[in-house]
Amino acid sequence: MTHPSLTGKALVANAFHAPDCGAVEFLPDVAIFIDADGRIEKVSHDIPENAVRLPKGQYLLPGLVDLHVHAPQFPQLGSALDAPLEDWLQIYTFPLEAKYSDTTFAAEVYGALIDHMLRCGTTTTLHFATIHLPATRILADICITKGQRALIGKVAMDHPDTCPDYYRDANADTAVAETRALIDYINTHPENAAGRVMPVITPRFVPACTDACLHGLGQLAAETGTRIQTHVSESDWEHSHVRDRMGMSDTEALDHFGLLRDHTVLAHANFLSGRDMELIATRNGGIAHCPWSNIYFANAVFPLREALARGVQVGLGTDISGGPIGTIWEAARMSVAVSRMLDSGTDPARAPQDRGRAGSRIDIATAFHLATRGGAKALGLDVGTFQPGMRFDAIAIDPAAPAGQIISHGNPPPLQMLEKIIYGATKANIASVWSDGVQRVRA
Ligand SMILES: [Zn+2]
């Protein structure tokens, strides 16, 4: 079953969205009017005669937002998970990322990655690329062509003590100049007039960058207003490395260099203090919560409920390939599961009352919000709900798709259906994907 592009039309569907954290809204048989630019004009129960109807049994959800992807690591997704972060980078990841000096290889991998992500329903992604400007331009070209809303960063990493000779920026000036060149390339791209693809300043993390590089990137952000992404306090090693070098927390160090700004997105953030969280909230930064990756590389569970309570914007990340599965469905499921583990604890040798951190669990409605509007808010983008003024980025789900694994016998009520979709959806259930109202994937 296919659905046409929807610009200038109205789509009638049974839709779910979660504008606020912790609450899901079901919109039964609603008409969503989309203008010629792909923006939602109005949402109404008055259904025009020429409306397009989603096939019976399908549901409309906002497109998924992935706040943390290393595009070049796609070939090693689902492998190389046996070493701690600092070794994993040197043994597996830097050698792989170095290969993107080859633009043919880059075009091949990046094309396959964006196809995979759109096919899984991920319509917005915050991408780390590599240090290579030509390959990073190719990633931008591919996202523009294929229609993924994407923020793309050339990775800056120039520190000779932590980055290998074969894979690092020549010096701080080069890292900053090439970051600026990517910003100019994307912002003036002739096929990117709608601005669906955006640049993002991307210091890999404090350990990989010299002070001069971090300072230069902070100045570039202030001058151009470009968003920033990096990693923060991911593991014990990273957290202590920055404290030893800077005499302050990782979060404070980023702030010191002018890198903690409006919509800066920080990946992982497991070892933040309450003060760090409050600083991030004050600067209107956000956190990419990567529950799968944290199992392998953080050895801890991100205290999500605490971050939300302190007013920090949070969304979900797959962390391809630090996480073994490249879909936000999996990140959503695992965000619920690990929050339950933190809440109740995991070591049966401890007494129940000493086993966990009570008050840490989240529910599926919160996970759905984080996977859609939460991620979008962290980035400051008008997507993630079906409300007037939002861009129409959406997915049609067919729970009964024969190759899928959602068990939906007996016509469950809507909220139970959504829970089943979030726990069970795979590529097989994605019937259609739109960004800016234009169909990008069809079953
Ligand atoms: Zn990462």
Q: What is the pLDDT of residue 280?
A: 98
Distance CA 342, CA 437 (A): 39
Which CATH entry fits the domain spanning 64-379: 2.40.160.20, 3.90.1150.10, 3.40.50.300, 3.20.20.140? 3.20.20.140
Residue 125 alpha carbon to ligand 1 centre in Å: 13
DSSP label of 320: B
Q: What is the pLDDT of residue 408?
A: 86
What is the three-class DSSP state of 242?
helix
Residue 375 alpha carbon to ligand 1 centre in Å: 16
Q: Which two tokens stand for residue 61?
A: 């959800």
Q: What is the pLDDT of residue 442?
A: 83
- Evaluate the omega torsion of the peptide bond into residue 273 and state whether it is cis, within 30 degrees of 0: no
What's the pLDDT tens digit per position in 246-285? 999 999 999 999 999 999 999 999 999 999 999 999 999 9
Q: What is the mean pLDDT of residues 167-195?
A: 97
Residue 295 alpha carbon to ligand 1 centre in Å: 13
Residue 267 alpha carbon to ligand 1 centre in Å: 6
What's the pLDDT tens digit per position in 400-420? 999 999 998 888 999 999 999
Residue 69 alpha carbon to ligand 1 centre in Å: 7
What's the pLDDT tens digit per position in 77-102? 999 999 999 999 999 999 999 999 99
DSSP label of 63: P
Residue 35 alpha carbon to ligand 1 centre in Å: 36
Residue 203 alpha carbon to ligand 1 centre in Å: 11
DSSP label of 71: G
- 142 pLDDT above the threshold of 60: yes
CATH class of 10-62+386-442: mainly beta
What's the pLDDT tens digit per position in 33-81? 999 999 999 999 999 999 999 999 999 999 999 999 999 999 999 999 9
Q: What is the pLDDT of residue 1?
A: 41
Residue 404 alpha carbon to ligand 1 centre in Å: 30
Confidence of residue 333 (pLDDT cuts 50, 70, 90): very high
Q: What is the pLDDT of residue 4?
A: 62
Residue 371 alpha carbon to ligand 1 centre in Å: 17
- 13 pLDDT above the threshold of 50: yes
Residues 61-96 as b or e (16 or more Cβ within 10 Å = b): bbbbbbbbbbbbbbebbeebbeeebeebbeebbbeb
Sequence-ordered list of residues with C-beta below 8 angstroms from that of 228, at least 6 positions apart, any chain: 200, 201, 202, 203, 217, 221, 259, 260, 261, 263, 264, 265
Q: What is the pLDDT of residue 260?
A: 98
What's the pLDDT tens digit per position in 371-392? 999 999 999 999 999 999 999 9
- 31 pLDDT above the threshold of 60: yes
| Contact present, 238 and 207 (Cβ < 8 Å) | yes
| Contact present, 408 and 84 (Cβ < 8 Å) | no
Residue 436 alpha carbon to ligand 1 centre in Å: 28
Domain boundaries, the chain: 10-62+386-442, 64-379
> Ligand 1 is a single-atom ion; what residues have CB below 5 A from it?
267
Residues 303-329 as b or e (16 or more Cβ within 10 Å = b): bbbbbbebebbbbbbbbbbbbbbbbbb
The size of the chain, in residues, is 443
- 311 pLDDT above the threshold of 80: yes
- In the block, which residue shows the tokens 């709900």? 385
Residue 291 alpha carbon to ligand 1 centre in Å: 12
Phi-psi region of 55 (alpha: psi -120 to 50; beta: other; left: phi over 0): beta
Residue 85 alpha carbon to ligand 1 centre in Å: 10
Distance CA 70, CA 68 (A): 7
Give me the chain's average pLDDT, please.
Answer: 97
